[in-house]
Chain A
Amino acid sequence: MFYREAGQFRTSYAQDTQLLPLRQDRVGMLVVLIAAVLIPFFANDYWLGAILIPWLILSLVALGQNILMGYAGQLSLGSAGFMAVGAFACYNFMLRIDGIPFVVAVVLSGVCAALVGIVFGLPSLRIRGLYLAVATLASQFFIVWALDKFGWFKNYDPSGVITAQPIVMFGHNFASPGEKYWVVLVIVVVLALLAKNMARGSVGRGWMAVRDMDVAAEVMGLSLLRTKLQAFAISSFYCGVGGALFAFAYLQTVEPSAFTIELSFRILFMVIIGGLGTIMGSFLGAGFILLMPIFLNVLVHSLFGKSVDATVASSLEQLVFGIMIILFLIYEPLGLARIWQLTKERLRLWPFRH
């Protein structure tokens, strides 16, 4: 009933290839976007600074990981490393180029991460699957080690934890959580739109061809070298931009130990739980992995208050979170995006069953 496409005719090729062919989707997306823009007027600093900003940023990184893993089928474990490249590149651009606008620095740091990504993507031309995942682990360890080892990256700061510079653009300092949120929102929306269009265009079809069977793709005339390295570059670009935003708009410090292997794994889980090879899934998965522990923490505290030992409560949260992940993977291995899709299909038929 809600998703009925009856009466919506596509009469031109432009209409047939548009991003959201259904009127309901267009209206829905518009509402979501307007709400997203207006949120800072209603939400408090906690919601903006501790929930929405990290969620958007990690969605962007998950999107990058999804491009590589979900679309191009290259299992990689180095996303936090590429985030670290982005964060430190952004710090150095801001430090060494006077008056560079933040957005320019962010884009340049994405480019830096893309270059590093191409280097670490080279093994993908020879090895596949789990073996490639192990090879990309090297990038994670090497990058964090190099950032620690060579003082130039940190401007010889003795502690290695650097306070991030303020976000300045067009002579304005984006200091409050609301302003930072808008900066992040604009960057994430633009990049997500780009990713969606890449994924459904020839670029994305190339990735998927390589994912499904690379020998067949090569026989069809696709250059494996080009496609795979392109996926690595674009994925690392997204991770790099995400890392720069993570350090500057969220943590406000730049340090290698924020980008550990643990973060890489979390990003991997976001993609798997959200749904491999979907743009929507990156957002849903990031929301689940990032927000569910916080939600459980608040829930357990408000349910039991101080009547339950806090150590037991904290352990309980981890237990429940783990069980939820297992249940999700058992009942819907295709991820949260698939659940969303099924819900839409049901809404189309509602109130009938078939």
Chain B
Amino acid sequence: MLIHKVLRRVLPGVAAAGALLASAIVPTSTLAQQPEQYFPVASMRVGPYNAMGTGIFGGVIDYLNYVNIKHGGVNGVKLVYEECETEYNAARNVECYQRLLTGPNGQKMLVWDPYGTPLAYAVIGRVAADNVVLAQAGYGRTDAADGRVWPWVFGATANYWSQIGMKLNFIAQQEGGIEKMKGKTVVHLHIDTAYGREPLPAMREIAKNWGFRLVEIPIAPPGLEQQSQWLQIRKEKADWVTFWGAGAGMSGTALTTAARVGFPRNKIIFVTFGGAEEDMIAGGAAAKDTHVVAMVLPGKEWPLIADIEKVLYKDNPGKGNMQNPNRVGTIYYNRGVIAAANYIQAMKNAQRIHNKVGKPINGAEFRDGYEAIDWRSAETRKEYGIDGMIPPYRLTCRDHEGAGTFHMMQWDGAKFQIVTKDWMAAPDPKFIRKLIEDSAEKYAKENNIKLRDCPE
């Protein structure tokens, strides 16, 4: 029988592979001379969102390596990482979370940052029990910005409700004030997942208060066919479109289809998550003039990004994680670098607070450090080389969002031009905050969670 010939040849290989696997899974706890701190990297390098995954997680890994090479680690603690491929799939993400929970050096992981709203939702119920910080930087569950209900979840620098508030603020400014919004039509064109629907509760409230008409149009994932949706947008005589998509394929399709039905691109506002160079390039010439919201500014001229490029790509070639070094300084890359900068800032805080300078820390200590993140002073931002790249903000026991501000950018056909003069928030940030806390309190009540006491 043929199958047995195949099996006979393959079996030794399978056995060897199994032995290798076993040796890989059993944690080898070697005593390293230099203390280490382990970070998990829940990457997505294949699948529809690979442009985002390679950029963001390339940025994270580059920053960890940069700190090791440039500063010899964090106060002498070397940073190590382990990567797992989630494919933006909730089930694979849970498997990765479990696999990376304990690192190869036997340390428990401190932070989980999967860069996907469905992925964050899939582990949000587990992190508190495992003492892991869920760092959902600008994505994930919005009302987790209430630190009284979600002590382990952080959404710095801003969440989707603040973002939709900022977008509507921008639209109102373009139209000449909030009172001019009456009778206007805004279409929320979104991918039909939890992520796409996330801003809707806040958006509906604002629509009611301002008196504009909100039309919700879902697109079934992966969103590569949008003809009927854009025809409907024409039919509704939309004034503005807030586009909530994901993946370069979906973004490009939106722009080319909008061009085909003749909808002006400068009236389309892209979401941070699916609004990067890759998304615009996918739209080709049709992408020109599209508005995109940014929570971290792109560019190579920031001192930190320039130095990373110098240290990892010029001085030590081969150390950089980006396959295409030209992507250093793009939106996704810079966002990954900032996410990792937050880990490091939190780790430094934790070492200081818990008197562990030069020593590894645990999850609870890291959580305290993350809550103490403070980017308000220009000196701190300059010290990291990121002044101007992120908004000034700090996190507190109660406020796990921080800034809630953004810049508006416009695609000029080759790169993004910053349109707004300063970081811009919702017209009434207190109103958004109240929506968040109401929603979190409702959740706490339904699930019998006692609100954490926060001084202030």
Contact = CB atoms under 8 A, between A and B. Distances in A.
Interface of A: 45-46, 49-51, 54, 148, 158-161, 163-164, 250-253, 255, 257-258, 260, 293-295, 297-299, 301-303, 309-312, 314-315, 317-318, 327, 331-332, 339, 342, 346
B6 interface: yes
B76 to A, nearest CB: 22
Chain B, interface size: which category?
35 or more
A258 B92 CA distance: 11
A160 B2 contact: no
Contacts of A342: 1, 3-4
Interface in B256-271: none
A144 B201 CA distance: 21
B125 A253 contact: yes
B447 A253 contact: no
Contact of B194 (A164, A250, A255, A299): A255
A163 B150 CA distance: 14
Interface stretch (B95-103, B358-366, B412-420): B95-103
Nearest to A44: B102
B351 to A, nearest CB: 26
A311 B3 contact: no
B122 A253 contact: yes
Contact of A311 (B7, B20, B323): B323
Nearest to A49: B98
Nearest to B43: A310
A301 B24 contact: yes
Contacts of A302: 20-21, 23-24
A342 B7 CA distance: 11
B192 interface: yes
Given A293-B92, A331-B2, A339-B3, 17 more contacts: A49-B94, A50-B94, A54-B95, A158-B201, A159-B198, A160-B193, A163-B447, A253-B121, A255-B121, A294-B95, A299-B20, A301-B24, A310-B43, A331-B6, A339-B7, A342-B3, A346-B4
Nearest to A165: B447
A93 B197 CA distance: 25
Contact of A159 (B46, B94, B197): B197
Given A311-B45, A315-B45, A158 B200 contact: yes
Interface string B3-44: 110110000000001001101110000000000000000010
Contacts of A327: 6
Contact of A50 (B46, B82, B95, B439): B95
Contacts of A50: 94-95, 97-99
Contact of A251 (B82, B91, B99, B323): B91
A284 to B, nearest CB: 14
Contacts of A260: 221
B46 A158 contact: no
Contacts of B122: 251-253
Nearest 8 CB-CB pairings of A with B: A302-B24, A50-B98, A161-B121, A314-B45, A50-B95, A311-B45, A46-B98, A161-B194
Contacts of B57: 310
A50 B93 CA distance: 10
Contacts of B21: 295, 298-299, 302
